Structure 1
Amino acid sequence: MPEPDVVAAAIARNTRKLRAERQWSLERLAERSGVSKGMLVQIEQARTNPSMGTLCRVADAYGVTLAQLVELSDTASVRVVEADEVIRLWSGEEGSAGDLLVGVDRREHVELWRWTLAPGDRHDSEGHMEGTREMMAVLSGTLTLDVADQTYTVRSGAAVLFDGHRDHVYRNAHKRPLDAVLVVIQPTTGDPALPSHPG
């Protein structure tokens, strides 16, 4: 995993670049993202490691994925992401984690994640933009997935596909750790001012 200061520097560089491309002031970005100007200054100066929620709001404001916001280097036509380059964007107190492996912005925004959930841990996610789809493959353990008012059990070796625009929860209600791979696919909006990132 990259050191936190390396990730903060990448976020700072990418945030400044996206803002310059759009010719937005800090005030305009603050208004569009709901993130305070003071926090945005800290992000752009690499003086903080913002929360996943803050990063999602900034990515939404720009109409890009988290992957683009935290990209460590310029994207080539082929890019191998080494194990020490994987970026951890969420972690739980019990040792659970959500690692963004790689993402792309072309016709659609696509993100590939690696999730681990310790026994008894969970991750709650608000519904994403309309048209978002999520696919999760369970490598080991058992996933309990809550989507809207329904609960689904996805065992090791199985996979699930669901509409990500509804509130959903990933849970490990069992005694073994859960290891899974998640793909998030969201439509592009065509308008960088419209939210498009699934937080």
Structure 2
Amino acid sequence: MRNENDKPLPPDAALAVRLTRLRQARGWSLEKLADKSGISRASLSRIERGETSPTAHVLGQLAAAYQMPMAALFSGLEDLGGDRVSRSDQQEWSDPQTGFRRRNVSPARTGYKGSVIEGTLPAGREVTYSDTPIPGLEHHLLLRSGRLEVVLGETSHVLEAGDCLRFKLTTGNSYRAPGPEDARYILCVIAP
């Protein structure tokens, strides 16, 4: 996303614009989105004005309210041009609460069902999503370094570097980096 001078917006500002446009395109008031997402109207307003950056948990709640993969919340933030996505076009976002970093390696795009992200979760930190945005959303997670515990409902999977976990989301989930080093992974998400 770009400003009126055709310069890229900072990631948090671009995300604020995208979230505002998503809500407005559905004709929803802030109150309606608050009811659907469980996020207070005041918090939603601050996020849309760019006064605060949403956490990964809040983005998960918004994705569930909109019934779309989280990657789609970030779509439209990049000026992609063709099929090649250069490193400089791969938008990065950081969770202000946990330090989780997310880079859109292959962002959600019209005509494609999947996206690829690179995630880095700092050692000792956890990101929890209370629900799945789309039941059956397919994931393929390759842990590149560190250790990562992925909890899907009542089932826990502890991954070591090089391990791959395939799953379809049907419930809330969480990711925890037990340490001692950060967990770095590649995640492919495919819409049903």
Shift in CA distance, 152/42, structure 1 to aligned 2, threshold 3 Å: closer
Instruction: Kindly tell me the number of residue pairs found equivalent between the two proteins.
Output: 181
Aligned to 1:27, the other structure's residue is in SS state helix
Query: 1:183 and 2:182 equivalent?
Result: no
Q: Is the 8 A contact 1:67 1:100 kept in 2?
A: no
Query: 1:22 and 2:21 equivalent?
Result: no
2:186 maps to amino acid: V
Q: Mind listing any 5+ residue stretches in structure 2 that lack a counterpart?
A: 1-8
Q: Percent identity?
A: 25
Q: Is the 8 A contact 1:91 1:98 kept in 2?
A: no
Give distance in 2, aligned partners of 1:169 and 1:26: 27
Give distance in 2, aligned partners of 1:91 and 1:48: 9
* Cα displacement string for residues 78-135 of structure 1 (whole angstroms, at most 9, x for unaligned residues): 2525258532343676xx6331424315477534222334444443343413212221
Aligned to 1:104, the other structure's residue is in SS state coil
1:185 maps to amino acid: I
What is the root-mean-square deviation of aligned Cα atoms in Å? 3.2
Aligned to 1:15, the other structure's residue is in SS state helix
1:57 match:
61
Query: TM-score, normalising length from structure 2?
Result: 0.70
Query: 1:156 and 2:161 equivalent?
Result: yes
Q: Is the 8 A contact 2:148 2:176 kept in 1?
A: yes
Shift in CA distance, 110/89, structure 1 to aligned 2, threshold 3 Å: farther
Q: Mind listing any 5+ residue stretches in structure 1 that lack a counterpart?
A: 188-199
Give distance in 1, aligned partners of 2:89 and 2:107: 16
1:12 match:
16
Give distance in 2, aligned partners of 1:49 and 1:91: 7
Give distance in 2, aligned partners of 1:33 and 1:85: 27
Structural mapping, 1:35-184, within 5 Å: 35-70=39-74, 71-78=76-83, 80-82=85-87, 85-90=90-95, 97-101=100-104, 102-106=106-110, 110-128=114-132, 129-173=134-178, 175-184=180-189
* Cα displacement string for residues 33-82 of structure 1 (whole angstroms, at most 9, x for unaligned residues): 33333333323322222222333333333333333333423554425252
Give distance in 2, aligned partners of 1:26 and 1:124: 24
